[in-house]
Amino acid sequence: MSILAELLPAVPPVIGWAVHARWLHGRLTTARRDPLTGLWTRDAFTRRARRLLRDKRAVVVLADVDHFKQVNDTHGHAAGDALLAATARRLTHAVGHGGTVGRLGGDEFAAVFIDRDHTAPDRLDTLARVLARPVDGAPQVHTTVSLGWVRAADHHGEELPGLLRRADEAMYAAKRSSSPVRRARLGRLLASVAGRRPGRRGVA
């Protein structure tokens, strides 16, 4: 029997249920968080992102750490974990309280924020420079992060999976270019994206 179960009979029923509800809420929240970075997991991120996409000013961002395997191979997995945690903190700070950030898996992150002042290009350029800084306390651990982004208003009626695929396409264009940030192109998605990256899946 858990400590919580032992304590509940000793307090009035209403208070006991309130304590139990808070405990359950805490457990559920923990389950929706990635244990390494503290970010929302895929399902929890999806729910929050969909709510934000009701605002026509929403921007969807996909971020992928460049040369992550090389960081692990050179400095060890602890250094790689520190890099992922630092990337998560910096993304969260850049998005702010009104947005949401999730870890989709491995070294891939997604974010949605509301571009209230129409400064998304400048914000993301600044973010790319911040993400390229060394990890605090470990100057040898650093790399760039490629960012692809899309403005929801440019693709009226398109839902989160499609917007993430567009951001994904832009992110890989950034990896192939000299710029770490790329905006998604207008028009149809390139059919080659899915074939080029068989291990990736959009958020459903």
Burial label, 158 (beta-carbon count in 10 A; 0-12, 13-18, 19+): middle
Q: Which residues are catalytic?
A: 107
Q: Where on the phi/psi map is residue 67: left (φ > 0), alpha (ψ -120 to 50), or beta?
A: left
CA distance 79 to 74: 9
Cα–Cα dist 120/196, whole Å: 28
Which 8-state DSSP code applies to residue 19?
A: H
